[in-house]
Structure 1
Amino acid sequence: MDFWSPIQISIKVTLIASMVAFLPAIIAAWWMANRTYKGKMIVETFLMLPLVLPPTVVGFGLLVLFGNQSWLGKGIEWLFQQPIVFTWWAAVIAASVVAFPLIYQTLKTGFESVDKELEDAARSMGANEWQVFRYVTLPLSWRFTLSGYMLGFTRGLGEFGATLMFAGDIPGETETIPTAIFMAAESGNMTLASYWVVSIVVLSFILMSVIHKIRGT
């Protein structure tokens, strides 16, 4: 069995997934920060659900949403001439969904920490909301923005349950480090499983060290 293949796939999947999750997370965090409206708690709860739901529930939801019985799944299959379930992109989607809440919550905290007087001063000088966000809010919360992305990357790297259900464990295509560890242990190859455990622990340790460095803690 190729030792490096799951590592390469994990890094590639997580890199794409964290970028896919980052854009909607930053939009949602900007919209939700310092805004009060009816139903906000329900929206906030929905956005954070993947963080607390069992990964198998997330995987099942993705199967229902993107499966060949749903209109979305049928549309994707018609467009790309193949279903998305049990493909590399399924692994990306699974990692994106579980990474989103951590990115969103970190960004929202950062945006809420910005001095509102500075934002109001920019508005009083004629800046629109996009300019306020781009030139005031985002630069002043850059530590949260960067650490949010890194936290999402780390969470995506360790994703297992949703990936296994939605993308499967196809060697050389969807077999990430967590699924490779599970399959190796299931087959009794504890030595190889141990090597992969060490690799993901080292990667996660490095990433968490970078996050703490960014936050200045």
Structure 2
Amino acid sequence: MVNFSPLWISLKVSLCATFIAFVFGVSFAYGLYNYRGKGRSLLEGILLIPLVLPPTVVGFILLILLGKNGILAPWNLNFVFNWYGAVIATTIMGFPLMFRISLGAFEQIDSLILDAARIEGASEMIVFIYIAIPMGLRGIISGLVLTFTRIMGEFGATLMVAGNIPNKTQTIPMAIYFAVQGGNINEAWFWCIVLLLISFLSIFLINLSSIFKVN
């Protein structure tokens, strides 16, 4: 009988991480969109680093930072080998995708519309929430869905930080890997099909938003 804990753990971790990546990704994207000072390209490059680094490298850095001798050691906070650590790892791996797609969505907006709202006295927060986000909503939704699927499939960084603890930190990608290692091909196929269905549903949702012309 299949143990469904990897599915529930994956959903719990992915939903939490996607929400965090969404909030910070969209906020940083809008901030960089409005920033025209020196070093803009450098800032964007720094925010995109996790997208190009191997996941195991990101996981190793997080393990050093969050481990018992890391920067959080004085506060006795432990994010290693539990699902909180998995949330942190997957958030960092998913953030660049959410950030970059949101930035692209904001760059498609006519800046004159935003400037007109500011001239009329609208605060930056009002412009952001009531004008920029609605106008870039299609791209933001696409980024949100793709970030969720990226996080669902994250393996390397999560394994380094959270480990593979059944019923505690074992996500679907880990269940697939260790099922193959243990020769349990049927279980590996089962979880592969689950991820394929989730990926198909995600693509369907993106296409659905285009059909209804979310903008």
* Superposition TM-score, scaled by structure 2 size: 0.93
Say whether 1:199 aligns with 2:194: yes
Residue aligning to 2:119: 124
Whole-angstrom CA distance in 1 between matches of 2:35 and 2:208: 30
Say if 1:25 and 1:103, in contact at 8 Å, map to a contact too: yes
Residue deviations 1:37-64, cap 9 Å, x none? 2222221111111111111001001101
Q: CA deviation at 1:35?
A: 2.4
Q: Which amino acid aligns with 2:10?
A: S
Say if 2:155 and 2:174, in contact at 8 Å, map to a contact too: yes
Q: CA deviation at 1:183?
A: 0.6
Whole-angstrom CA distance in 1 between matches of 2:73 and 2:193: 37
Q: CA deviation at 1:213?
A: 2.7
Residue aligning to 1:35: 35
**Identical-residue share of aligned pairs (%):** 42
Consecutive unaligned residues of structure 2, counting only runs of 5 or more, are none
Whole-angstrom CA distance in 1 between matches of 2:35 and 2:210: 25
- Could you say what the CA RMSD is over the residues aligned between the two structures, in angstroms? 1.5
Say whether 1:15 aligns with 2:15: yes
Q: Which amino acid aligns with 2:96?
A: P
* Superposition TM-score, scaled by structure 1 size: 0.93
Whole-angstrom CA distance in 2 between matches of 1:71 and 1:187: 36
Whole-angstrom CA distance in 1 between matches of 2:82 and 2:66: 12
Whole-angstrom CA distance in 1 between matches of 2:81 and 2:29: 31
Q: CA deviation at 1:73?
A: 3.8
Say if 2:56 and 2:160, in contact at 8 Å, map to a contact too: yes
Consecutive unaligned residues of structure 1, counting only runs of 5 or more, are 78-82
Q: CA deviation at 1:34?
A: 4.3
